[in-house]
Each structure stands twice: as structure tokens, then as C-alpha cells.
Structure 1
């Protein structure tokens, strides 16, 4: 009977390992980094980069830049490309922003003229506890901050998890 309880305990622990969600440190802009776009054709470079990534609560955004700044601002300030009281400000050249809630985040450069030329970005952050259902293709590979493919993770719903646990635990407890 003691070996059955040990087996049950190990089974539960191994199941939780499969359900863990890992957070990611994203290098903002990928290889381009956080710098002013070179032309009008590149004015959406940061929003295009953001749209190719999936952000969850707990992720971090890593901004690397020279002689610039990063401001997290409201939607209205994002549209104006100006903020006198940003939600977040950093100008140290190596900024890490911790995503602490789901929703939309708006970022702009604080250097005059940079935001107007396209150095701004909106990211949509999902709640890690309730990720959206993925398509089969999204489960096969996910885009990382460096642009390479990595194995995707499937998410179990609570009822599926409970059914899975009962199907494994039930026979162990009956013995």
C-alpha cells in the first residue's frame, strides 16, 4: 500500500511538470533592437515584431539601445507620441520591463522625433493561467524572441486535467 501512495505522489508530480508554463525574456525588436526606424517603410517594425510573438503575464521585455529611452504610456499618450508622466521610464540602455498583468501595453521612445518616425510598440499580454486555445500549427512551433522555432506547449483545461488524473489515480487507489 505504501508503494502505491509513493507511485501516486510521483505521478502527480510528473503531471504538474507537463502543465508548467514558462515565461520568456523577449529581446524587443529581435535583431533590430530598440532604435529609430531607418525609413517610413520600417515605421511598423516594432508592432510587426510584437504581432509575431505571444506574451503572457510573467514575461520580460528586454530593450537594448544607445542614447535613447523607453516609456510605457497610456493609449492616448501613445497616439500623441508624448508623455509628461509615463507609467514607466528608463534610459539606461539595457532596460528590462516585467509584464505583471494581462492587457495592452504601449511603449514609445522618449527622444524627440523618434516615436513619430515609428519607434513605438503595442503588445497584447495574455493571462498565463488562461491561455487561448491554440491551433495544431501553433502547438507544433512557436516563435521565440530570437526568431527560431522552439517546441510549443499544449494547455490542458481543468476538466481535461481532472479526467486525466482520475484515469491514472483511480486504478492505483482501488488496488
Structure 2
């Protein structure tokens, strides 16, 4: 009977530890979404290279709503800084973009002149074969599919990318839950 209990506890811990982790990335990390300084003019190009964005993650753009906005644009509009006919327009100062598909995503400020000053972001969400296997769909906020992930917009710590270490570790809450379950089974 004790072996069965230990097996069940082990199975429960394995089930819990295989949960999917999604991250909310604050675009630019400590800097708000805005025109890059001359000392750090490539902040958004560098930022996108150091983050491994995947489906389920979200991008948080923080900025003063009376002074800026974020638009999602096509690759051509991104390259030419064309602000007409954006795919998506966000202007509340606390804009959250959920990644729901593989592909290339292009963002820029919706304020004239900001894109030319390098306030723009390009991210690639790669498929299992290492390529952006599909073009990002043109969703409006009200036309998202039912399965699109939704995350609360919160201010807090900036999530850190998962470790590239190959040794798996159990998250702290899983360890605590496992301890509670084992203790309860011993009663």
C-alpha cells in the first residue's frame, strides 16, 4: 500500500511539474516604450534578440497614453515607417499583445516621427523547426479566437527567461505541494 501511495504522489508531482510556463515580457525591460536615447539607439533591436518569445507569451508596452501609442504593422510598413493602415492600434499606455501564433511580428509607435527615431520592434516567434512557420494573423482585439490566451495586465517584477540549463528542476510551489501531500499520506 505504501508503494502505491508513493507512486501516486510521484505521478501527481510529475503532472504538476509539466505545466506550461508563459511569460509576460515588458518591452525594453527597465525602459518604457519610447524613443530610444542616442546612447542606446538599438535598444529594441537588442531586446528582441535576447528574448525567446513563444506562443502563449505576451508583450507589455508601457508608455504615457497621452504621449504615445503602439501599432502592429506589416513588414513593409515597419521598414518604411508607414503608419497608415496598421494591423492593430493600442493607445491605453498599458498595452498587452498576446502571442497566439508563429510568425514575424512588427510594432512601432503610432506617433509620427517616432519610428524614424528607432522606436520600433520586430520579433520572431519560431516553430519547432526553427523558422517562423506562418505569418502572423491580422486580429483585431475583438476578433481573437476563443482559444487565445489572456493575461491580466499587472505591474510587478519583470519575468526572467527560463534557464538554458538542461537539468530539470521542480518549481518551488510543486515541491511544497509534494511535501504537503506526502505528509498527509503519512497521517
TM-score, reference length from structure 2: 0.63
User: What do residues 35-60 of structure 1 show as CA deviations (whole Å, max 9, x unaligned)?
Assistant: 01122x53321010111111111111
1:1-175 equivalences in 2 (<5 Å): 4=4, 7-39=6-38, 41-66=39-64, 67-127=67-127, 130=128, 146=158, 151-152=163-164, 154=166
Secondary structure, in 3 states, of the residue corresponding to 2:117? coil
Quote the offset at 1:103 in angstroms.
1.8
User: What do residues 131-172 of structure 1 show as CA deviations (whole Å, max 9, x unaligned)?
Assistant: 97xxxxxxxxxxxx848686557599xxxxxxxxxxxxxxxx
Secondary structure, in 3 states, of the residue corresponding to 1:46? helix
Change (3 A) 1:99 1:147: closer
Q: CA RMSD of the aligned region, Å?
A: 2.9
Quote the offset at 1:101 in angstroms.
0.8
- Would you say how many aligned residue pairs link Structure 1 and Structure 2? 140
2:154 alignment counterpart: none
What CA distance in whole angstroms lies between the structure 2 residues aligned with 1:83 and 1:53? 26
Quote the offset at 1:73 in angstroms.
1.0
Change (3 A) 1:71 1:80: same
Which sections of structure 1, spanning at least 5 residues, go unmatched?
Answer: 133-144, 157-175
Quote the offset at 1:118 in angstroms.
0.3
- Greater share of strand: 1
TM-score, reference length from structure 1: 0.67
Q: Judge conservation of contact 1:30–1:147 (CA < 8 Å) in 2.
A: no
